[in-house]
Chains A and B, each alone.
Chain A
Amino acid sequence: MRRRLETIRKLSQAAFLLLFGLLFLLTVYPPSGRPVDLFLRTDPLAAGSALLAARHFPWDRLLWLLPLVGLALVAGRAFCGWICPLGTLVDCADGLARRRRPLALPGPRRAKYYLLAALLAAALLGAQLAYLADPLVLLTRSFALGLFAPLQAVARAVGLGNHPLLPESQAYYRFSLLALVMLGAILGLAVVGRRYWCRMLCPLGALYGLLGRWAPVRLQVNDQCVECGRCARECPTGAISAQDPRRYQGAECTLCAHCLRACPTQAIGINLGHYPGREPGADLSRRRLLAAVGVGAVWVAGVKAAASQKPTVTGVRAGSPWLIRPPGALAEEEFLRRCLRCQQCVKACPTNGLQPALAEGGLDGLWTPVLVPRLGACTEHCNLCSQVCPTGAIAPFAIDEKPHLFLGTAKIDRSHCLVWAQERECLVCDEVCAYRAIEWRQDGGKGRPYVIDEICTGCGLCESACPIQPRAAIRVYNTGDKRHWSRERQRQWRLTGRRRDAGPSQ
C-alpha cells in the first residue's frame, strides 16, 4: 500500500493534467456549456483575489472555491502534489533533468509567502495581481498563447487537418514567445532543484501551506525509523529535516508519498491526527512581510494614479485608442480588478480577434484581452468569451443584446478610403456590416459612406474586411465604448440611431 500510494498519486496527477488539457481544448466555439474554466474558477488565489479586489462576493462564485480550500484545510498542500497541472509538468521536467536532490536553500523558500502577502495586500486594496504569479493562470496563458498555435501546426502535419478543436482560423497569438519563455523558465528551474517553483515561488502553494497549518492529514513516522535520512534526501520539496527525519515542515509537504516508498523500514505513513514532528513551517520575518505588503500597496497606488487620468467621456482610461474590450466587459476599473489575464477568452475567440494587450491598457492592463479587428472581428452570433471567463470580468450576455453592446466606433479615414480619397467604387464596409451602420450620403455628386455612431458597435467587421492595406481605411477606436453605461441605456442609444436610419437604402 505504501508503495502503491505514490503510483496512485501519479495517476491522479496524470488524470488532472489530462483534464486540464481537455478543458483547454474544449474552450472553443461552438459553446458547449461545459465548465471549461474549472481550474481557474476553483482557484482560491486567482478567483479569490479577483473577488476580493472587486469587493464582489456572490454565493455561487464563493461556493466554487470551497472544494480546494476544504482540501487545503484537511490536507495542506495535497493540491500541489496530486492535482496541480503545473506541478505535474514541473515533476516531468525534474524527471528529465534527473536532479535527484533538492538544493538546501532555506532562505528563498520564504519568497513565496512574501509574494502571496503582496498579492493579498493588493487585492485588499482593490487591485488584483494574482495574474502575475498564480500557477493555473500562468499555465492557461502559456497554453493559449504559446502552445495552441504550434499544436495546430503539428496536428495538420500529421494529417488531422482542420479539426474542430484545432480551428485554423485561430492560428496567431501575440506574446506567444514570451508565454513559452515564461513556462520554459518555470520548468527549466528543474536544473536548479526539484519542485523549485513550487517550493520557492508559487504563491498558491504558499496559500495552501498556510491554510493547511492545522490540517489533520499528515505524515507520521513510527518507531521503526532508523534515522537513515533517506526520506530527507529524496523529498522533492525538501520538507523533511536532514538532522531529524522525524521532523518535517507541514507547509512544504505535498503528501506526494515519495518518502513512503523511499523509507527502507516502512516507518512513514500518512495518517490522521496529531503528530508532534510536524512543524507549521512558515517562519517569516515580520519586517519582510511588512515590506511585501508595502510592495503590494505601492503597486496599487501606482495603478490608481494611472487610472485617475481617465477621460470622463468614454469611461476608458487614456492611453491607446485601440483599447477595445470584448462585448460584455465590465467598465474598465472593474474589469481590471477581475480580469485574470488567463487568456480563456482569447483562446475561445473563434475569429482570433481577441488578443492579449501589449501596451494598449497601460502597465496593469498587460495581457488583458483587446479586440484587434485587423486580425478578426467580434462576430455577430457569438458570446463565447463571456461564457468562458472565470471571474465574470466579461459579464454574460445574450446574443440578441449584442447590437447594443458598444465596444467602440468605426471611423472612416477619408484620406485612405477608396470612395472618399480615390473616387473609386467600393462598398465592402457597408456590405459586411452586421448592423447596417454605414449609410451613404450624397457628397460632391457621389454617394459616400458615413458611419452611424448610434448603430456602430465597434465590432470591427468593416476594419477586418476593408481592402486598403496595410492599414484599413475604416478603423475602430474605443471612443464609442459604452461599457460604463447600463445595457438599457445602451439599448436606448441604439434606438435613437435606428430611427434616423429608417429610410430605405439608396
Chain B
Amino acid sequence: MNRRDFLKQGLAIGATVALGGCAGSRVSGARAGAGRPGRPLPPGARPVLAVAEKGKPGELTRRALDALGGIGKFVRHGQTVVIKPNLAWQRQPEEAANTNPEVVGTLVKLCREAGASRVLVVEHTIDSPARLVFEISGMQAAVDEAGGELVSAHEERAYSEIAIPGEVLKREQVIREVLTADVFINVPIAKNHDATRLTLSMKNLMGIIYNRQGWHLSSSLHRCIAEFAAAVRPDLVVMDANRIMLTRGPKGPGQTKDPQAVLASTDQVAVDAYTTRYFGLQPADVEFVMLAGKLGAGQADLGKVQIKYA
C-alpha cells in the first residue's frame, strides 16, 4: 500500500465513521424529541377508573388493579417497568408526605410476578440527599423487599431533553429511564399543596423533570403541569389515598385524614378529578385538572368515565 492509498482509505473510513455517528445522533435525537406518548387511547372509549376503598394499602392496590383487569394487562414478560412515586421528602410514612411504601412495594411485587425483568422506582427528591429520603420514608426497605430498584435521579446526566408542544413549555429534561421504559406507572399520593391547592398524579410528574424551579418561575405552574401531562402520559396511574394530607402540603406536617382508598386508571386526568372529592372539592377547584382535560391529557368530566368500585 502506498501513501496515497493509505490516505484515501483512511479518509473513507473516517467519513464512514463520522456519517454513522451523525446518523446515530439523528436517530436518538428524533426519539428524544418525540415526547413520551404513552398508550394511545381508543377513540370514543370511556376510560375506566378503578376505586378500591376500605382496607389495607397493599390489599387495596391489588383490588384496584384487579378491577382494571390485572397487572398483566399492562406489564408483560421481560419488560422494564419504571414507577414514579411521590417521594420528595424526608418524612415518615405516617405523615402522608410521600406515597405509602406498601402501595409501591405491592406494585413492584405485582410487576415482578407479571414477569417484568426490571422494576425501577425513580425519584428526583426535593429534600437531599436522596438516600436519607429513601431510608426515612421506608421506601428503600419496601422496594428492596419487593425485588425492585430504588434509583435517585438527582444528576443532570440522568436526563434527556424532549420537545413539549405547549404554549409555555417547549422543551424539558426528563429522566431517561422514564422515556425508555416499556411501562411507566405514576404512583402519587393525594395531598394538599400550597401552590396548586392539591398535588395529584399530574403534579407528581414534576418529579421526573430536572429543572422544577423553571415551572415555579414560569407564568403559570398549572399550565406547565397540564402541558407536560399531555405530552408525557403514563401507561398507568395508581393513586395512593390511604392517608391524605389536608393542610400544609406538600411537606407537612399537616392535618391528615384516612380515606383508605387506592385508585387506578390509564387516564391520569380522571384519577385526579375523582381524587378531589376526598378533600371535599370538585375537579374544577384544581386548575391544572381542568386545563389538562382541555389539552387532551385525559378525561376531566367524570360523567364520561366508567367508574368501577373494587
Contact = CB atoms under 8 A, between A and B. Distances in A.
Contacts of B132: 29, 350, 379, 381-382
Interface in B215-256: 216-217, 221, 247-248, 250-251, 253-254
Contact of B131 (A164, A428, A504): A164
B135 A433 contact: no
Contact of A432 (B127, B154, B253): B127
A427 B248 CA distance: 12
B24 interface: no
A494 to B, nearest CB: 15
Interface in A474-506: 504-506
B285 to A, nearest CB: 16
Contacts of A432: 126-127, 251
Interface in A404-440: 418, 424-428, 430-434, 436
B213 A467 contact: yes
Contact of A379 (B90, B126, B192, B247): B90
Interface string B3-41: 000000000000000000000000000000000000000
Interface of A, secondary structure class, is loop
A169 B216 contact: no
A167 B250 CA distance: 27
Interface size class of A (residues with CB under 8 A): 20 to 34
Given A350-B131, A432-B126, A425 B90 contact: no
B274 to A, nearest CB: 24
A234 to B, nearest CB: 51
B298 to A, nearest CB: 25
A436 B248 contact: yes
A461 B194 contact: no
Interface string B194-225: 11000000000000000001001100010000
The 8 A-B residue pairs with the shortest CB-CB distance, nearest first, are A169-B129, A467-B213, A505-B248, A505-B247, A427-B195, A427-B194, A381-B136, A350-B129
Given A381-B132, A432-B251, 11 more contacts: A167-B129, A169-B129, A376-B128, A379-B127, A424-B217, A428-B213, A431-B126, A431-B251, A434-B90, A467-B217, A505-B247
Interface of A: 29-30, 162, 164, 167-170, 350-351, 376, 379-382, 418, 424-428, 430-434, 436, 461, 464-465, 467, 504-506
15 contacts: A29-B132, A167-B131, A168-B155, A169-B128, A379-B132, A381-B136, A425-B195, A426-B217, A430-B194, A431-B195, A433-B251, A436-B248, A464-B128, A505-B194, A505-B248
Interface of B: 90, 126-132, 135-136, 152, 154-155, 192, 194-195, 213, 216-217, 221, 247-248, 250-251, 253-254
